Structure 1
Amino acid sequence: MTYPEQGMISFMDSEKLIPLEHISVGGSPFGAVFAGGHLYYSDWSRNLVGVIHPGTGRTIKKITVGKSPAGIATNACESQVWVLNRESNSISVIDTDNFKVIKNIAVGRAPFALAMDERFAYIANSQGNTLSIVDLAGLSEIKRIKVGRMPYGVAVDQKQHKVYVSNQLENTVSVLDAKTHKLIHILKTGAYPENIAVDEENQHLFVLNWFDGSLSVFDTQTDKALKLINLSEGSRAFGQFVSESKVCMKK
């Protein structure tokens, strides 16, 4: 867990469900992901990605990326970490074997969140009202699709071959066909939908609605609304908040 205002990162024992320690890293740590045996975190204010050795808790590398890095994810098939640089309108791709940026990819305005399937990365451009589609093999943007206003979260359902994008200023989720990249549905949510996640096994899409403290649940097979669950006021989430187990599908 990251604490941008305090410049700290905390670790938790996932089996015992107890906090382990807090590490002071300075700056404004925002997103975090494990890759190649290390913890990578984006530092919003210092325009870098830090690499922490989990055994010692020490930062062993600081990698310069674009301006205001926020979202961060791993492409395990290629030993890569992807970082979204919100103010640079780009993605920095880091090789986890040598801690070096191997490619900077231009995308839409203010990229903030991403999700991947076996072939593509899908990036929500929060100020451009678009979804960038990046080819994982070629490391280049191949298409930019218009979605709703202020897209904030993105999730992929590989079983149903769908891509879901939450649109904060429209209280909707755009649903795209992952094979054709065409818009197929628009789902109504609660107020100011933020992050979204897919439970492929149970065929559920979860949408966390920030402004009314609720969770919208949809059937991913039919895209029909199933339930609206009331939560605490101001509930928020960023990153993968529904547990899942994925393995590299590279052939």
Structure 2
Amino acid sequence: MTNPHRRNGQQYLYFPQKTGDSVRVMDIGKDKPKEVETIKVGIQPEHLVTNRSKTRLYVMNRGSNSISIIDTTTAPMEVIATVALGAEPYAIAVDPEQSRAFVSCGPMDDGSIKIIDLSAASPVLQNSTPVRGLLFRGLAVSPDSKRLFVAGGPKDDTINDSISVYDITGSAPVLIAAVEGQNESPEFVYVNPAGSFAIASFRQGGINVFDAAATPPVLLSTVGSGEVNGSALSPDGKLLVMGYAEPAGGEGNYAIYNVSAIPLGTGLFFTSTYAPGPMTFSPDGARLYMISGTELVTYDMTMHPPEVKDNVTLTGPAGGITL
């Protein structure tokens, strides 16, 4: 297969059944998304990511304390390796060089960052670095594969809501800094394609933008409020979509921020009948795919505000989404 992301005219979107033991594969290359495959993985799969070339899918199994690695070039797709972690995993990220996967594990008071060597014939756990008191949520690797950004930081009396930044040029992560933010409960973190900004969104409200190249990273801008239920950064790193918790009896509330201009200005706010959830952009940025309960909702991002293009019913509740 020369392009596993587009096989026989198909384009693939993946979501895990977080109350089960499988990953569902959707063909989004046609007019209406359609479920085409089911892949058995571990128990309670939640977070999942693909590598840059889209040849591998990495699935975090919270109930099995493991990572399933799926070859997306085969028909049907199949699990080619399962790596045991020995601790409850929270988030996973793959470096741009596709040689390492980083996983945050464990409860807040006794956790670790684990590195899986993907270059080996059989992927193996390469390193486990204890990190006490880390809030384990989003992970992101810088484009040059030198820094790992973690949504959360050492929990003590002075720094309890932040991003932690690690030097990952050696065999084990080395903490560079834990940078205090201006909001509570960090959930998601992104690094733009240029590696200049690290963007953290917070469950209890707001966006923090940091200078990702500085040591320690510097908080450049903060904006927004409200409980965040999902977010996504566009492939060009310019737009951040935030989905806010649905008010009782109300609609889903959303905001789009231009994160290429610092400080951040007022976002484009819009509402939808669909409650926000895990979301991801299409490779060209023209579509936003979002899990809303048991539905996959497609937004046309070329419209202002975005409009719902399609919605399909899914098999069971989904814990995440990726292309």
Q: Please, which moves more after superposition, 183-192 or 221-230?
A: 221-230
Q: Which residue of 2 aligns with 1:30?
A: none
Q: 1:90-144: per-residue Cα shift (whole Å, max 9, x none)? A: 0111111221111011125222322121121111225352111111112111011
- 1:63-102: CA deviation from partner (whole Å, max 9, x where unpaired): 1111111111112447111110011110111111221111
* 1:99-118 → structure 2 map (5 Å cutoff): 99-117=77-95, 118=97
Q: In structure 2, what is the equivalent of residue 62 of structure 1?
A: 38
For these two proteins, the number of residue pairs brought into alignment is: 211
Cα distance between partner residues in 2 of 1:38 and 1:146: 36
1:93/1:104 contact within 8 Å kept:
yes
Once residues 200 and 96 of structure 1 are traced to their aligned partners in structure 2, the CA distance between those partners, rounded to angstroms, is: 24
Work out whether residues 143 and 194 of structure 2, in 8 Å CA contact, stay in contact via their aligned partners in 1: no
CA distance, structure 2, for counterparts of residue 38 and residue 230 of structure 1: 34
Q: 1:35 to 1:92 in 2, by over 3 A?
A: farther
Query: Which structure 2 segments of 5+ residues have no match?
Result: 238-282, 284-323
Q: Calculate percent identity across the aligned residue pairs.
A: 26
After superposition, residues 85-100 of structure 1 pair within 5 angstroms as 85-98=61-74, 99-100=77-78
The structure whose RCO (Cα within 8 Å, separation 6+) is larger is 2
Q: Which amino acid aligns with 1:61?
A: E
2:223 alignment partner in structure 1: 230
Q: Which moved more, 1:117-126 or 1:34-43?
A: 34-43
Is 1:215 the counterpart of 2:195? The answer is no
- Rg (Cα) greater in structure: 2
For the residues of structure 2 that align with 1:47 and 1:87, how far apart are their CA atoms? 9
- Of 169, 184, 204, 1:179 maps to 169
TM-score (norm 2): 0.60
> Could you list the per-position Cα deviations for residues 126-172 of structure 1 after superposition, in whole angstroms to 9, with x for gaps in the alignment?
53521111111121110112234231110111337111111276312
Runs of 5+ consecutive residues of structure 1 not aligned to the other structure: 1-33, 247-251
Cα gap change, 1:232 to 1:185, in 2 (>3 Å): closer
Secondary structure of the equivalent of 1:141?
strand
Equivalents in 1 of 2:84, 2:233: separation in Å? 27
Equivalent residue in structure 1 for 2:235, among 239, 243, 248: 243
Runs of 4+ more than 4 Å apart: none
| Residues 5 and 54, structure 2, Cα contact 8 Å, conserved in 1 | no
1:160/1:60 CA distance change after superposition, 3 Å: closer
Output the CA distance in 2 between the equivalents of 1:52 and 1:243. Answer: 20
Q: Select the structure that is richer in strand.
A: 1
Normalising by structure 1, what TM-score?
0.75
